[in-house]
Amino acid sequence: MDPNSIFEERCRTPTIGDEAPPFKAVATQGEIEFPKDYRGKWVILFSHPADFTPVCTTEFITFASMVEEFRRMNTELVGLSIDSLYAHIAWLRRIQELEWKGMGNVEVTFPLIEDITMDIARRYGMLHPGQSNTQTVRSVFIIGPNGRIRAIIHYPMSLGRNIQEIKRAVQALQKADKDNCATPADWKPGEDVIVPTAGSCGTAKERMESKDPNQYCLDWFLCFRRERRCRSP
């Protein structure tokens, strides 16, 4: 391959649907090869500006307290910043001694990647010059079991992430894959989903006239499928 093409590919910011840019790295849980080590699992790869910073600390306490919730969803967490491995270790040990919003003595058991060279951050477009040339913004990449990027969210340094929303995004993507549907605004597990838009006049007419109790339409292009809900005994 032409060296210029390799350089351009490594500098291009990945987009939804792309294969996650591969890398090998040293992390707090040992060396990892990404995304190879996570094939068959969903991954939330997220960056933070720096260790020992207040907003990042609240995020890590929250992520760490929810790690088992994510793992029950076949989802792993992987963090990254351009600080050193030793800074990571010292910070994570300090986090375990803190308590916030009733969350205390939480151990960060997911890997936190050392990226001193900023190579990985550049590959993933985590450095935004309008914010900083030496610190990553709060990027979130949701990566599917096949190693492809399914969603991307970027937050500025001053804005702490809503971890529940990140979890909801994974749940919605998993639901869409499983049941060939889309999820409406503010969807939560158990709520009704949107069926694929009618691809012909005939299908649109059938849907509008359908007596199926599990489906209803607001208009020909906006039809929902009712989700079964457990009834109390």
Classify burial at 54, counting beta carbons within 10 Å of its beta carbon; exposed 0-12, middle 13-18, buried 19 or more: exposed
In this structure, the number of other CB atoms found within 10 A of the CB of residue 207 comes to: 20
- Distance, C-alpha 229 to centroid of its chain: 27
CA distance 141 to 20: 9
Residue type, 135: Q
Residue type, 130: G
Question: Burial code of 126-138, b = ≥16 C-beta within 10 A, e = fewer?
Answer: bbeeeeeeebbbb
**Active-site residue identified among 11, 56, 181, 223:** 56
**Active site annotation includes 56:** yes
Task: Sort residue 125 into left (φ over 0), alpha (ψ -120 to 50) or beta.
Answer: left
Residues annotated as catalytic (active site), given as ranges: 56
